[in-house]
Amino acid sequence: MELDPDLKVLVVDDMLAMRTIIEKGLKDLGFLNVTHATDGLTAFKLIQKAIEEEQPFEFIISDWNMPMMGGLDLLLKVRQLETNKDVPFLMITAEAHPKNEDKAIKAGVSNFIVKPFTKQIFKEKIDSIFLKKELDAS
């Protein structure tokens, strides 16, 4: 599946090492337009600003556990925004609890990755998100 390299992507993670891994994975997949935030609160401000500038993010990848605002709360706030209610949202977590996955699914997460993960799993999860989006649009 070919993805748009200009897709506007937001990566949210409080750990620099993880952001670097995710951003490198995105670059390897051909994504060129990547912005990052270190917590959900900062990310939400960036999301609101992008909407105001009429250039909303088209894909959000977020860690579950972060200071200020975690990934689940960010997801809930994103889904409340009319402009972003359907934006693909990939949640990444080190906590593989079925309860957490259920909460994220109910909140509208597009897909879920448990750390640690391989480049192949990362690619498969992203492909799955955009294939579903493509199918839903047709």
CATH code of the domain covering residue 69: 3.40.50.2300
Give a yes or no: residue 1 inside a domain.
Answer: no
C-alpha to C-alpha distance for 71 and 110, rounded to whole angstroms:
13
Which tens digits make up the pLDDT trace of 55-93? Answer: 999 999 999 999 999 999 999 999 999 888 899 999 998
Residue 2 lies in a domain: no
Count of domains for the chain: 1
Nearest C-alpha neighbor of 26 from the set 71, 90, 73, 105: 90
Tell me which residue range forms the domain holding 86.
8-133
Q: Is 138 inside any structural domain? A: no
Instruction: Decide if 54 is inside a domain.
Output: yes
Q: Rounded to whole angstroms, how far apart are CA atoms 110 and 49?
A: 23
Whether residue 59 contacts residue 72, with contact meaning beta carbons closer than 8 Å, is answered with no
137 or 104, greater pLDDT: 104
Predicted TM-score (pTM) of the model is 0.94
According to the per-residue pLDDT averaged within each range, which of 4-18, 94-108, 121-135 is highest?
4-18
